[in-house]
Structure 1
């Protein structure tokens, strides 16, 4: 009973300790044998942790690995702990026992951590292993019985009973086995000589030592015991070869077996046991290359080989026995190092001649290069290429030397610099490669002339511009660099000029100049449209190269008219008394007094006088209109707006008085407008007196007013000679009427082209809104608005440069086709100017452009005299 109570108390303590560990420490403990197959269930982890069915997957039950990956895992569906990979207790714990693994299990929702202890139990999966498969022992043949020879025991990686070893020896007449226990587990065997040996009877005894473990079933390991019976030392060791020749590649790793030398000694026992040493290193650097095993004679490589440094090593090996006195033998080892392709080629630039001028000839040497490879044979044969393959190439001069030469012509403007790579490759397997980059800049030569963006530049400039005003900027491109691309500009001396009014020729350099550096074209003096309408010249661009190259561009400078001239009154036609009088050029200035006669009772529309004026400007600036300034209101006279003819507005009556003073303003259409003033005195006389006055004046028109009292004298003279001059007046009027009819018919039926165009093809150029007109120096035809006055308001010419497409004229005015039918040749309109094209009258109502008001295609019925122009 006492013993039973003690057992129950011990069991109770174990249960309490297990419960405490479960609550505080691991909570769950499992055991699994090593080498269990994957998928083996270790334990129902979810159930042991108190989780219901389905909870493991819902609460994401999983292992948390720490350090090395665990060989077990949790099955997601069932929550069981299963083996996932091979379990090797010896690998996990070695000789430690027991072998326990601590695992952490994580459960979410709520988050909790459990500790699981997994014990891996040992199985007998390792057999005993001896340090060597064979053990050589030398026993002197004179050794007494009972001599002991310690043997090396076996080892077993298992633990416990599986590692408890026992030894047995194969049957022998002379030897026995004595096992001695050093501790609870280790047993060391000793070989005991039980009977004296006789070398002459048997020189070698071969026994088998067997080690068995305590597993079920037991595993065994064996070691062969070779026991040599030694005799006295009367023979020296002898090598089987006097010279050992060995070849090793230079990339052999350390520890490589070079050769095993072997020496034999006919003696037995200690007299036949030898030790090997190496001596006589040649070269001395080979001392650290090899080492020899003193017992086995194995020569091992101890450092890296380098064929490029030493390709042959010589060693002497000595074998010495352990006899007394010891005897020795010698042999020689020759180690030949074989080359491997372990050195890449090297590329060196011996000479580099840069930059290369872009006009360098094909075959020019750019660089000298040398190539080397420290390897030998095919490993040291190098071939070179250049990339890119153009425009350079490689020429081999002699072994290992190359010239980089020019294969194609260069163009710096296309490529200013080349990045050349020289590539070298040896003949090894696999081949090694190397490359060397070269930067080859290309130097510039003056092979590009400056080029203007346009062959012809059209420049517009207003007259009266300030001296030094910039007209345009010209630019020529030269793709060369530095001085070869630095362009200077100048006006060509033989590049052109202009004919000036009044005759003569002036070069273009007297009007314009160009800045040598910037190409800025500026005026040397104010331009005058009345003197110069167009200036054509050449601008030359010259670079600073050697020799210098140049390019030319033509500049057509068109001068735009401004309203800088006031209308000027002309003297009456026919050279009357006032012939040669001129109006003032100042705006609003009185030009002097004119006088004319009018007959009492003259009907409305009868022309009394004609005011003539001219304007040196052009276009709108020269388009004149006449306005009756005084008297204002409904006077007996009126003035044609564009003809200047003074006619009766109604029948003249005696209430109008004997004399009417008319102030007529002649104004142009410029901005601002300029004007001149004429004063006309109209004397109202009888019909006969008017005829005499007209005959005496020689024409029907206005004349200068005579001195004071001259009118009375003229009237008196006319009265006394009424009968004579009446006949003359009738004849003169009849002649004038007949001449007017003839001129009207000629002008009415003559072809328009005969008036507007001369010989050769003609081109119509119209005025712009600002009053400028294009013209030609070759041929010009003018139309007039007054008798005897030539105007250039509308000119037809043959151009000195190709006209643009005829479609440009259609954009000017909707009535352009009517004009094209009248004027021979296609109209030309400079594309850079806005144009106003007056509409020519139709054949039914002929009217010249500047005779009719703007936009009218026929004249007023009250101006029938205009049709006679």
Structure 2
């Protein structure tokens, strides 16, 4: 859309130059446009999306928006074509007054990722204000006695525009008496006066009516006019004269009230009342000057009446009028120029906007967290602001434009180490002494699921008594996750493994929330010594993380198996042991041996032998070894001893309660010759059988030796390979370990016919050698002791270390 003032070819060339200048500045890091004031709604300003390198399709998804410190509604962006256009009337004089530079500073912000662009739109002045005089007419009183070339000051016009549009030229209507005298000062203001070219005669011409016209330098030109009403007076023909046309004064903005600014001095060549002068401010003085300064009418002293503020007004032009007391009075004018000097009396101002919080702990370096703007109303060094950040790690401030900073991430974050940061942004100016301002920023770090649940130890050893109740609690696993909220919500599960035809889940289960481990069925030590499996802990993050822990559940033995008698090596009758005993044997001769085993372990399998008393209370000549089971004589046999002796041997284990078995030993007392024959017959039978098997045994021994050698070589090679490699899978197997215990009375051993170890998880199968103390109480709550081993010192002392074979 074009304006009416752009119809001429010169205006089009000017607009083209402005657009080229805006395009050049856009490539230098800051987009610069220009627009004339009073432009109509919809006037094209620039293709802002294209100049900023943004695609039109991403303006709406990235929340393209424009912010301005001043009037945000003056300019608008069409999100469909990316064009910046005029949205409301722009009045340069209203925005910037008489300032030579006038710009609108825009911040263009887009998200995903956050980017900030700075756009400056310069508002060009147009000649939309004509020169304006203060009143419709000015009255001037001139004595008829004034000499030729006398000057009479008149008030000029004011133009709200700037530059050439405010450069005024004055013309005076044609007359015979006066010419217009224009003098330009170095402050770009003009002093106007009428110069007398022809002597006045009140009787001939008592009044003159002149027209003063002011024309500005704009295109097209604008003009204003005022009527000059000149009254010719008589007598008092000398006006006061100031010793200086312009008084120049410099004052600090902190100057106290009542300070003398300057003294205006004027003289009058007349005498008496015609030479007495009264000083006052000019009739065109502004209300602001009247509030800031006051003048003594008799002495001409000008003093400060109110506080100065450099940031509000940098200079004052005070018109002074000197009037004598003649009749009619005569006057003259001078000017006092007061320049206000800046003092560092304004602290910097801080603004923090566009906070992108909380920030994820895995955010990349350089992520923009907030935008910081600083400003200082002072000027020069007093207004130069530097911005610092404390503490520096892990953030930093990056200067993006004059007085604009971005708070960005400078190093990696770890919420588990620091979950929030309290930052302080400090702005300090260059004054002496410097002034500063601070603002606090709280940066919260958002959690990311970067920590897996961790157990206190990689492996737990659990002891459970056999014959437990189904569903009993045997242990509780617990894992800790350093993350927060759902990333730290841990659930537990059993790592399933196939154990032959059965799965681990048929033995145990794990509660998903509490981590409690339950035995699903009664355990049997005689079938299952060790149950090894893994429990997995997994958090609720995305993606979820997890870890495993190994549980070794040792099934402790209870006395649930009675001793079992082994068949006699010699002949027997009906399961009883039968032996021939020569009557000639002496005391201490072993005549038989009772053999028994117990399927239990430890003290539960430690057997002792007792001889039951004979019927009728008769004392038997035999005794049985308490721990050996050997039946021996207590004295020499005689004829009075019955020829057939029936002994009952009680076999008892050391469990609580103890379990027993009874063995019957039949002894036949014979003479020495009979016993020898019987022994020979038995020996002959045995010798014949052995001779028949000699040939077979030789071959068997050779085969067994060969197979054993091959087996030993294979085991050595397998052991070497397992030592050099990391085990990857658990195993289950069967074994027949021999449990050996020692005591003050000797040693004992037993062989279990069926023993199974079940495990899952990592590591090869193990063979354990274990010994248990009989002092362990029978009703021990193993689940409590497993979870609180420190509260049960007797458990560790009652169970000997496990030796891996």
Q: State the 1:254 CA deviation.
A: 0.7
Separation of aligned partners in 1, 2:749 and 2:302 = 134
Question: Which of 261, 264, 271 does residue 267 from structure 2 map onto?
Answer: 264
> Any conservation in 2 of the 1:782–1:792 contact (CA below 8 Å)?
no
Distance 1:628 1:240, change over 3 A: same
Residues 174-185 of structure 1 aligned to structure 2 (within 5 Å) = none
> Any conservation in 1 of the 2:738–2:749 contact (CA below 8 Å)?
no
> Any conservation in 2 of the 1:783–1:793 contact (CA below 8 Å)?
no
SS in 2 for 1:654: coil
- Residue matched to 1:625: 608
Q: State the 1:554 CA deviation.
A: 1.8
Residues 315-714 of structure 1 aligned to structure 2 (within 5 Å) = 315-494=318-497, 506-573=502-569, 576-578=572-574, 595-631=578-614, 634-687=619-672
> Any conservation in 1 of the 2:465–2:556 contact (CA below 8 Å)?
yes
Q: State the 1:442 CA deviation.
A: 0.5
> Any conservation in 1 of the 2:568–2:577 contact (CA below 8 Å)?
no
Separation of aligned partners in 2, 1:834 and 1:782 = 20
> Any conservation in 1 of the 2:605–2:750 contact (CA below 8 Å)?
no
SS in 2 for 1:655: coil
Separation of aligned partners in 2, 1:522 and 1:666 = 37
Q: Deviations along 1:813-848, whole A, 9 cap, x unmatched? A: xxxxxxxxxxxxxxxxx99454579xxxxxxxxxxx
Q: Deviations along 1:153-193, whole A, 9 cap, x unmatched? A: xxxxxxxxxxxxxxxxxxxxxxxxxxxxxxxxxxxxxxxxx
- Residue matched to 2:311: 308
SS in 1 for 2:336: strand
> Any conservation in 1 of the 2:737–2:752 contact (CA below 8 Å)?
no
Q: Which has the larger radius of gyration?
A: 1
Distance 1:258 1:730, change over 3 A: closer
- Residue matched to 1:293: 296
Q: State the 1:240 CA deviation.
A: 1.4
> Any conservation in 2 of the 1:345–1:433 contact (CA below 8 Å)?
yes
Q: State the 1:577 CA deviation.
A: 4.4
SS in 1 for 2:382: helix
> Any conservation in 1 of the 2:732–2:765 contact (CA below 8 Å)?
no
> Any conservation in 2 of the 1:618–1:793 contact (CA below 8 Å)?
no
Higher RCO (CA 8 Å, separation ≥ 6 residues): 2
SS in 2 for 1:540: strand
Separation of aligned partners in 2, 1:647 and 1:574 = 17
- Residue matched to 1:117: none
> Any conservation in 2 of the 1:461–1:560 contact (CA below 8 Å)?
yes
Separation of aligned partners in 1, 2:734 and 2:522 = 25
Q: State the 1:613 CA deviation.
A: 1.7
Separation of aligned partners in 2, 1:335 and 1:728 = 151
Distance 1:673 1:406, change over 3 A: same
SS in 1 for 2:623: strand
Q: State the 1:289 CA deviation.
A: 0.6
> Any conservation in 2 of the 1:618–1:792 contact (CA below 8 Å)?
no
Unaligned runs of 5+ in 2: 1-234, 692-707, 720-730, 741-745, 756-761, 774-793
> Any conservation in 2 of the 1:281–1:314 contact (CA below 8 Å)?
no
Q: State the 1:517 CA deviation.
A: 1.8
> Any conservation in 2 of the 1:363–1:407 contact (CA below 8 Å)?
yes
Distance 1:534 1:417, change over 3 A: same
Separation of aligned partners in 2, 1:286 and 1:792 = 120
Q: Deviations along 1:309-339, whole A, 9 cap, x unmatched? A: 2223232222223344433322222323222
Residues 23-102 of structure 1 aligned to structure 2 (within 5 Å) = none
SS in 2 for 1:630: coil
Separation of aligned partners in 2, 1:682 and 1:791 = 31
SS in 1 for 2:354: strand
> Any conservation in 2 of the 1:281–1:315 contact (CA below 8 Å)?
no
Q: State the 1:550 CA deviation.
A: 1.0
> Any conservation in 2 of the 1:455–1:554 contact (CA below 8 Å)?
yes
Q: State the 1:269 CA deviation.
A: 4.1
Distance 1:506 1:647, change over 3 A: farther
Distance 1:513 1:280, change over 3 A: farther
- Residue matched to 2:681: 728
Residues 142-161 of structure 1 aligned to structure 2 (within 5 Å) = none
Distance 1:730 1:489, change over 3 A: closer
Distance 1:384 1:730, change over 3 A: closer
> Any conservation in 1 of the 2:739–2:749 contact (CA below 8 Å)?
no
Separation of aligned partners in 1, 2:369 and 2:301 = 58
Separation of aligned partners in 1, 2:421 and 2:522 = 54
Distance 1:272 1:730, change over 3 A: closer
Distance 1:354 1:311, change over 3 A: same
Compute the RMSD of aligned alpha carbons: 4.2
SS in 1 for 2:604: helix
- Residue matched to 2:166: none
Distance 1:518 1:787, change over 3 A: closer
Q: State the 1:732 CA deviation.
A: 6.1
Q: Deviations along 1:762-789, whole A, 9 cap, x unmatched? A: x9xxxxxxxxxxx996976648999997
> Any conservation in 1 of the 2:606–2:748 contact (CA below 8 Å)?
no
> Any conservation in 2 of the 1:782–1:793 contact (CA below 8 Å)?
no
Distance 1:683 1:348, change over 3 A: same
Q: Deviations along 1:615-663, whole A, 9 cap, x unmatched? A: 1101211011101122378421111112212222222233232433323
Separation of aligned partners in 2, 1:276 and 1:532 = 122
- Residue matched to 1:790: 751
Q: State the 1:299 CA deviation.
A: 0.7
> Any conservation in 1 of the 2:577–2:666 contact (CA below 8 Å)?
yes
Q: State the 1:479 CA deviation.
A: 0.7
Separation of aligned partners in 2, 1:339 and 1:357 = 46
Q: State the 1:552 CA deviation.
A: 1.6
> Any conservation in 2 of the 1:462–1:561 contact (CA below 8 Å)?
yes
- Residue matched to 1:197: none
Moved more, 370-379 or 264-273: 264-273
> Any conservation in 1 of the 2:263–2:302 contact (CA below 8 Å)?
yes
> Any conservation in 1 of the 2:590–2:630 contact (CA below 8 Å)?
yes
Q: State the 1:363 CA deviation.
A: 0.9
> Any conservation in 2 of the 1:452–1:476 contact (CA below 8 Å)?
yes
> Any conservation in 2 of the 1:758–1:781 contact (CA below 8 Å)?
no
Separation of aligned partners in 2, 1:526 and 1:313 = 104
Give the structure-2-normalised TM-score.
Answer: 0.56
Q: State the 1:260 CA deviation.
A: 1.2
Moved more, 594-603 or 304-313: 594-603
